Amino acid sequence: MSRVSLEGQVAVVTGGARGVGELLARKLSARGARIALVGLEPERLKEVAGRLHTEADWWHADVTDHEAMARVAAEVKERFGKVDIVVANAGVAAGGPFADSDPVAWRRVIEVNLIGGAVTGRAFLPVLAESRGYFLQIASLAALTPAPMMTAYCASKSGVEAFAHSLRAEVAHQGVKVGVGYLSWTDTDMVRGADQDAVMRELRQRLPWPANRTYPLGPAVDRIVAGIERRSAHVYAQGWLRGMQSVRGYLPGLLATVGQREMKRFAPRLGSVPKGLVGAGGAADEEARSGAPGPR
């Protein structure tokens, strides 16, 4: 598939303060794209925007807030004149047994990952239709593998995958292309935060290969950039994830069998698993909702 030059294009990246979003913004900028960052960490967003190679700006906004995201879309269009690419990357995670989970944290994972992706799409689709642009929804291996101890995250990523597939058919006649990005465990604050808990770390390490290892961030983001350049319907941050599509129908049964054994093994230790959002991004989300600085 031919690639589209990113020179002069305008790319919006949500969750742009750290991790996948930050490095994606840097790599898109290095290829000539102008960047609009959206997130909940004003100081980090400002710092990231200031280090980019091309024209860039940032917006402090919660991706679950319809009014805020509509305002951001209008201001980005006014600031740059157009929008060519939107990457719905913002996400949070929480782990542990569902029965003992914090209902507020569980709901927030669904809100940010699923509702936030949809709110982002709703806000930017009008300007993407003008540019015949590209909307990339970041999903996960979790959309393919319904693993225990990850009910909210798996549900949210399965949801955004279905959302993006449905949306693709709706907007194709307007010239808008829609992609889904899949990542396995990748070296980000979120994954490192989850690994701080011994039970979650050991459960992940006991997954079947190659899903049991953490992958470097750089090559993963390079694959995402290549997918954006191709306006791909499916973008795989790790190459082996493509093969998972052909066997995904067998995975729930397999994981139910393996997961039952592992949950029995770890049962005496499950009470120690933290119940809140994980990683620095999760902490930033909780801080923002408890009274962080307002929108710029």
Pairing of strands 34-39, 10-14: parallel
CB 6: neighbour CB atoms within 10 A? 22
Question: Which candidate in 153, 182, 215, 250 is catalytic?
Answer: 153
- Distance between CA 184 and CA 237 in Å, rounded? 7
Burial label, 89 (beta-carbon count in 10 A; 0-12, 13-18, 19+): buried
Is-catalytic flag, 134? no
Is 124 in contact with 174 (CB distance < 8 Å)? no
For CA atoms 181, 185, 186, 189, give the dihedral sign.
positive
Rounded to 5 degrees, φ, ψ at 88 are -85, 90
Q: What is d(CA 296, CA 118) in angstroms, rounded to the nearest whole number?
A: 23
Q: At 208, is the secondary structure helix, strand, or coil?
A: coil
CA dist 292 and 296 (Å) reads 12
Give the active site residues.
153
